[in-house]
Chain A
Amino acid sequence: MLKKTLNYLDRSSSILPELIAIALAFLISAIILLITGYQPIRAFAALFRGAFGSKFAVGQTLTQATPILFTSLSFLLAFRSGIFNIGIEGQFLIGAFAAAVVGSSITGLPPIIHVIISLALGGLFGALWGFIPALLKIFTGASEVITTMMMSYIASHLTSYLVNYRFKAPGWVAQTNPVQPSAILVKILPPTQLSVSFLISLGFSLLVFYFLFKTYLGYQVCAVGLNPTAAENRGISVHSRILMAFLLSAFVAGVGGAGEVLGVHGRFVEGFSPGYGWDGIAVSLVGRLHPFGCIIASILFGMLRAGGMSMTRSTKVPLDISLIIQSLVIILVAAPSFIKFVILRRKN
């Protein structure tokens, strides 16, 4: 079983390029820290302590990893069918908002039912947000890179409008009413914010794995992504598979947003997402576009977010260094052949 898993994790050769990209990102950040007068070793030590040093730290890391795992699975699903879903952030926000409305306005439901309905509606509204660019892609050929990105910004302004006007809770903060107790996802490691949402995200990784690699439909989706013309010739309906992957991708993003609202914040707060949708793109690539790789990579990014906060508290290094590391990882994994070039030069 383990051998099989590893085979899936790594079809080509090794995870060396990804590891080198991460190491290079830390190295460049260390240089930035040195130039600006901080001690990189102390900063990174504090970062790792803050991410894994205690039970609380681990809880915070996994809490941060949860939404990123959802969004990376979302990116992966669309990417496998050859679609670049850049607008995950928007689908995530719409899903979160829908879950907040359903979770706070419906009363009198048994807890499990209420949670499931809220999550499912979050997913469905996320999928609805992905449906528009999917239709445009299929019927007009409009590039999904631009349309999903634009939809993302529309979602951000739209939810901001809704939470400031129609659905605003009394008070100064732009937020919705709190979710009913029956719709709250239980915390599994108090006092950290870690909730059942994390387990759900792990469950989704398994589902995505099963769908893509163990079902005929998933096989067709991957075939369309690899070579649409060949897939068409084999009798696969390319458009319907693209639509399916697009909707599933947006659905997972929506569920991720709903999980944040029901598990962490308990309501929709304006600007609660620090860009989880964008992180998903990078995490998916660092995770080699594989559901299990995404789990590892999302924990790495969760570590940078959670550890960064505690590093800033103890060493006064600006928090943004952990985002700088993330951005460097993103830029470096984008060009695998550049990393190969670095490795080969070392060998010579």
Chain B
Amino acid sequence: MMNIVALINISFFQAALRMATPIAFASLGGMYNERAGVVNIGLEGIMLNSAFFAVYATYLTGSSFMGIIAGVASGLVLGAILAVLTVKYHGNQIVVGTGFNVFGLSFSAYMCQKIWGSRGASETIIGLEEKSIPILAKIPWIGPILNNQNVLVYLMILIFILSHILLYKTHWGLRLRAVGENPQAADTSGVNVYQYKYFYIILGCMVASLGGVFLSIGHLNFFAWGMTSGRGFIALAAMILGKWTPFGCLAASFLFGITDALQMRLQALGILPSQIILLLPYAITILVLAGFVGRSIAPSNYKPYVKQ
């Protein structure tokens, strides 16, 4: 027991924040998708794809900024495909998402083998640097945790604050919520439902792809086969646990980040089998969905919208 208490220090919470970042990006992206009426099962594939493109662009240009751009661009392309297939052609969201996951896993491995001769891992590249922001460090309690992270962690926090403002303080957010909850009513009151759906499905996939970018050029500094290892699904869980709100998603992601960090430390000590800790987020999600830990109501009925 002493060991566990000794583990929980500032570097533990820093690790938890780092592990929470990819989950947070993906859960926020998933939230935008769901508010626009699409269940995005394919977050995992989108993240894997963007993780690959981020490393590849960084490898080619030597600039991690280009890596971020390439990763987000790959999210944009997959998001556009998802939007066209589900909104325009009423394709089955679950099936397209399943296809994305298989595609992300296989395409990234195919390219990795072609470029670096191994489907397992790419060459190491120079990733994002950790930056110290002196003002942040002065905040009591959370300052030392926030400080000395890379730019994507700061971007993540910024995007969450902006998302909260967008969703609850602007008329665009009000309309987006209406499009999810009652597209007919939104349409009647003059909202272009299709335009909103397209925009937020694509935006959601771009935000989610930042999670993959963080994993590859902000965390490991190389691409590895299947490196998202289920974080796309954990993100869906975080989104449900966070009740489809930005700060809820952030809090749930941080909780899962702590689980992840704890899992690594306990594994090193050999106290508890890692598998048992790894399955906790999934079990918690089921309990939440079943209504044992607070009720969660989805923001949409996820049916394709047909204009009358």
Q: Does the CB pair B279–A323 fall under 8 Å?
A: no
Task: Enumerate chain B residues within 8 angstroms of A165, measured Cβ to Cβ.
Answer: 273
Q: In the complex, what distance in Å separates the CA atom of A336 from the CA atom of B304?
A: 14
B228 CB, min distance to chain A CBs, angstroms? 13
- Known A-B contacts A149-B233, A281-B98, A338-B85; the reply to A86 vs B41 at CB < 8 A is yes
Q: Does the CB pair B113–A320 fall under 8 Å?
A: yes
Q: Does the CB pair A282–B289 fall under 8 Å?
A: no
Q: Does the CB pair B291–A324 fall under 8 Å?
A: no
Q: In the complex, what distance in Å separates the CA atom of A337 from the CA atom of B236?
A: 28
- Interface segment, A64-72, A118-126, A152-160? A152-160
Which residues of B, 250-274, contact A by the 8 Å Cβ criterion?
273
A148 CB, min distance to chain B CBs, angstroms? 10
Task: Enumerate chain A residues within 8 angstroms of B103, measured Cβ to Cβ.
Answer: 324, 327-328, 331
Q: Does the CB pair B94–A335 fall under 8 Å?
A: no
Is A245 among interface residues, defined by CB-CB distance under 8 A? no
Interface string of A274-287 (1 = CB under 8 A from B): 01001001100100
Q: In the complex, what distance in Å separates the CA atom of A275 from the CA atom of B230?
A: 13
Number of B residues near A (Cβ < 8 Å) is: 47
Partner of A333, one of B41, B90, B95, B233: B95
- Known A-B contacts A36-B114, A327-B103; the reply to A318 vs B119 at CB < 8 A is yes
Once A and B bind, how many residue pairs between them come within 8 Å at the CB atom?
Answer: 150
Most chain B Cβ neighbours within 10 Å, of A132, A147, A318, A331: A331
Q: Does the CB pair B289–A36 fall under 8 Å?
A: no
Partner of A320, one of B107, B230, B285: B107
Is B91 among interface residues, defined by CB-CB distance under 8 A? yes
Is A151 among interface residues, defined by CB-CB distance under 8 A? yes
Q: Does the CB pair A147–B273 fall under 8 Å?
A: no
Q: Which residue of B lies closest to A279 (CB)?
A: B102
Partner of A153, one of B91, B230, B240, B298: B230
Main secondary structure, interface of B, reads helix
Q: Does the CB pair A142–B99 fall under 8 Å?
A: no
Task: Enumerate chain A residues within 8 angstroms of B99, measured Cβ to Cβ.
Answer: 282, 327-331, 334
Q: Does the CB pair A145–B39 fall under 8 Å?
A: yes
Q: Does the CB pair B291–A84 fall under 8 Å?
A: no
Task: Enumerate chain A residues within 8 angstroms of B114, measured Cβ to Cβ.
Answer: 36-37, 318
Is A310 among interface residues, defined by CB-CB distance under 8 A? no
Partner of A331, one of B96, B109, B298: B96
Q: Does the CB pair A150–B113 fall under 8 Å?
A: no
Q: In the complex, what distance in Å separates the CA atom of A338 from the CA atom of B111?
A: 28
Q: Does the CB pair B289–A142 fall under 8 Å?
A: yes
Task: Enumerate chain A residues within 8 angstroms of B210, measured Cβ to Cβ.
Answer: none
Is A192 among interface residues, defined by CB-CB distance under 8 A? no
Which residues of A, 128-151, contact B by the 8 Å Cβ criterion?
132-133, 136, 140, 142-143, 145-147, 149-151
Smallest CB-CB A-B distances: 3 pairs:
A335-B91, A323-B106, A330-B99
Q: Provide 9 A-B residue pairs closer than 8 Å at the C-beta atoms, listed in order of the A residue.
A: A36-B110, A132-B286, A136-B289, A136-B290, A143-B289, A320-B107, A321-B106, A330-B98, A335-B96
B residues adjacent to A (C-beta < 8 A): 39, 41, 81, 84-86, 88-92, 94-96, 98-103, 105-107, 109-111, 113-114, 119, 230, 233, 236-237, 240, 273, 275-276, 278-279, 282-283, 285-286, 289-291, 298
